[in-house]
Amino acid sequence: MGQEVSAVPETTKPENLSERSLPAVADYIKSGKARKVVVLTGAGISTAAGIPDFRSPETGLYANLAALELEEPEDVFSLPFFKENPKPFYVLAKDLYPGKFHPTISHVFISLLATKGLLYQLFTQNIDCLERAAGVPADLIVEAHGSFASQRCIDCKTPYPDDKMREHVSRAEVPHCEKCNGLVKPDIVFFHENLPSLFFDRRHMAEEADLILVLGTSLTVHPFAGLPDLAPFEVPRVLFNMERVGSLGSQPDDVLVLGDCDTGVRQLASALGWREELEAEWRKLVGDEEADRQLEGSSKRQVELHDEVSQLVHDVDKVLHVHDVSSSGSSSPSPEAVAEKEPIAATQQEVQQSESASVKESVETTTLTEEVKVSGA
């Protein structure tokens, strides 16, 4: 683990770190230079909890949904498609709804940052609410793509009761507004919807950060993907991810920790002298049985996720075919809706500080583009 891949020449010295490594990041934190830590999280932080991400080739939901008769697998999370046929979304929601999953040690690490007064802001793409469950204070969380924490009618915007929402989701049934009979949808951001205003109100905090931690995100969903590039050029940025993404690895103080998030986070905690405290807090929160399950290893989790995702896709497929038979129209979104989808954004690996204007423009985009993930990026 550590700086395994970088676009920065070895002869280029970091400006704030002693070297591009986790021990150097730990020294930077312990020195008191990191008092405004901004954390960005995506789906990779929740996979150990048993929540599938969307982009993995074998276990990702999009890869499996691609086999169904949809214009695009992302259509299940498209607002036009939802308005026409909301049932597939609720079939997925039944198995992805908060309450059956537990925080990972990476979630608890973020909570520990908050406890120690170091967390300036958490921006998450995830809608699983595990940051809240881990104890991260609500006022330090920006759920950029919304969450399952609340829901409302898509027509009259009347909030829908939590208990009734849970009942409908548990049966994979579509809830309707008690006031106007419109469709009810969780307050998660679908395609063609604006991001929460809180995201734009607090994005400046990424510019004010003295340390950026990026965990488990592909950084392909805008405007979230532009956040790491808002930080000043000399600010250390640490990526915990399976592969290099965005512009991470292109600046002198970037540290890439390539692998699963939990392993990298444990290494940083060890370097900080927090490992024992972190492990104890995590086990206290989730219990020994769940902790041991998460520690069983990625290979077994991959098999479990593959089986779970295959079953989910099978259930969605049945719903789609029932809809096709019962509906006189097509269950696919309109050509106009498909045309509205933007192509995958160009890689940011070559983005430098001199292009900050274009980066800010990306972050200021108000609607979700590329894709939204059930757990995040």
Output the six-digit token pair for 377.
């990026």
Q: Which residues pair with 256 in a beta bridge?
A: 239
Is residue 180 a known part of a binding site?
yes
Is residue 202 a known part of a binding site?
no
Is residue 242 a known part of a binding site?
yes
Is residue 99 a known part of a binding site?
no
Is residue 128 a known part of a binding site?
yes
Residues in Cβ contact with 349 at an 8 Å cutoff, skipping those fewer than 6 apart: 7, 244, 246, 247, 249, 250
Active site annotation includes 306:
no
Is residue 217 a known part of a binding site?
yes
| Amino acid code (one letter) for 263 | T
Question: How many other C-beta atoms lie within 10 A of the C-beta of residue 268?
Answer: 23
Is residue 53 a known part of a binding site?
yes
- How far apart (Å, rounded) are the C-alpha atoms in residues 133 and 216? 18
CA 50 to chain centroid: 14
Is residue 54 a known part of a binding site?
yes
Is residue 193 a known part of a binding site?
no
Is residue 241 a known part of a binding site?
yes
Number of H helices, E strands in the chain: 15, 8
Is residue 129 a known part of a binding site?
no
Residues in Cβ contact with 80 at an 8 Å cutoff, skipping those fewer than 6 apart: 192, 333, 334, 337
Q: Cβ distance 310 to 319 under 8 Å?
A: no
Question: How many other C-beta atoms lie within 10 A of the C-beta of residue 155?
Answer: 14
- How far apart (Å, rounded) are the C-alpha atoms in residues 340 and 193? 12
Is residue 358 a known part of a binding site?
no
Is residue 46 a known part of a binding site?
yes
Residue carrying the six token digits 């890439």: 256
- How far apart (Å, rounded) are the C-alpha atoms in residues 192 and 77? 10
Active-site entry in 145, 168, 192, 323: 145
| Residues with catalytic roles | 145
Residue list, annotated binding site: 43-47, 53-55, 125-128, 153, 156, 177, 180, 217-218, 241-243, 261
Residues of each annotated binding site for NAD(+): 43-47, 53-55, 125-128, 217-218, 241-243, 261
Known binding residues for Zn(2+): 153, 156, 177, 180
